[in-house]
Amino acid sequence: MGLGVRAAPFTYVAHALAVAAAAMVLVWCIHFRGGLAFEATNKNLIFNVHPVLMLIGYIILGSEAIMVYKVLPTWKHDTTKLIHLILHAIALVFGAVGIYCAFKFHNESGIANLYSLHSWLGIGTICLYGIQSTKIYNTFIELGSFIVVVDICPWIFGFVAFFFPRASPSLRKGVLPWHILFGLFVYILALATAELGFLEKLTFLQSSGLDKYGAEAFLVNFTALIVVLFGASVVVAAVSPARVEEPHEYAPIPES
């Protein structure tokens, strides 16, 4: 699948929007919400770590992992593959810490956990992303007279199949489209979860007296819009070739 245009322009747009989104969420949490802390008497400071880590660490770094093949198309495939894996692992750690901060804030503030659609999708997304090695999907690939069942979560699957110990070239070629498709699905799910998070937090703030047309409300809404545009740029970059003459695939897999 491809659009017949190079991915590079979309990666430039994505990087610019990523910087804007990161700056805006920091301004929101530090300037308007009072700062960041893992331990504080003001429990809101603990919560503030959550949107910062989830956006900057989980979504933006995860996006960089998705785009690395298009950002560095001339680098050796094994090098970009390693960067892809490391960035996803870092994003996963940031996401786990971000979710921990949300639970910590709720527990120390006497607020119930896991009651909203945002929280349900958030837990589900990060589990799909790679924390739990539960049954995610079955991909049947015919190799001669054998049927290979792929039944592991995306990050673990990517590590084992594409990095170490690494599956055979024919198996990797068969699995790659499903790995890309499922990865983009999880990425879009993460974006949707972030949008619900912005909406949920802003609704709580407005019900507590925040001016619906004030500077903070506009900042949160515009941050959410930037994240939507950012995610769209990343997805388009992911499905576009690094060079127009190349097949519209994520990255070639060498036979050897």
What is the mean pLDDT of the segment spanning 12-18?
98
Instruction: Name the range with the highest mean pLDDT among 29-43, 112-126, 138-152, 174-188.
Output: 29-43
Closest CA to 193 of 118, 132, 126, 98: 118
Residue 2: its pLDDT value, please? 52
Asked whether 116 and 200 are in contact (CB, 8 A), the reply is: yes
Domains of the chain: 7-136+158-239 (1.20.120.1770)
Residue 133 has pLDDT above 60, yes or no: no
Query: Which pTM does this prediction carry?
Result: 0.81
